Amino acid sequence: MKNNPVLYVMGVSGSGKSTIGKLLAETLNIPFFDGDDYHPKANIEKMAGGTPLNDDDRKGWLLTLNGLAKSNEQQGAVIVCSALKKSYRELLRNGLDQCRFVYLKGSMEQINRRLQQRKNHFMPADLLQSQFDTLEEPINAIIVSADMTPVETIKEIVQQL
């Protein structure tokens, strides 16, 4: 494996993907990309309005993130993306020699508490149940508890890498 893989940090909204993704990218000295920044305007408006995205809504977004990963494959990158379904992860992984998924696993109650405290995010807390309903937990991933502190989480991920 190359020294700098493409890493997708995944999990439901509120699991800590952006925080962990940024820290992981800093630790590994590779670029960080927040997948939310690549959602088309229509997706953001739909989620902000309280409507969950469907597979058709997500497909173009996932292909965009896959292209981003391919363009950063040589240097490595950390890309934050919910990647809730196996089919989404297959789209994200398509054509990449080396990529890994880091799954931040948390309970509905724990994540809901976090979302209640979060300000200025387009994903309303009441869409969380739809994310857990959609979630197909990954098998071949680095799985880390969303209960740990960011420092503990980074340490665990780096150790598993």
Domains defined for the chain, CATH in brackets: 6-160 (3.40.50.300)
pLDDT at position 120 is 56
pTM: 0.89
Residue 14 gets the label, from left (phi > 0), alpha (psi -120 to 50) or beta, of left
pLDDT tens digits in sequence order for the chain, 161 residues long: 456 789 999 999 889 999 999 999 999 999 999 998 999 999 989 888 878 788 999 999 999 999 999 999 999 999 999 999 999 999 999 999 889 999 999 998 888 877 777 665 545 556 788 889 889 999 999 999 988 999 999 999 999 99
CB atoms within 10 A of CB 130: 17
Beta-bridge partners for 10: 103
CB atoms within 10 A of CB 3: 8
pLDDT at position 92 is 98
pLDDT at position 91 is 97
| Size of the chain, expressed as the number of residues it contains | 161
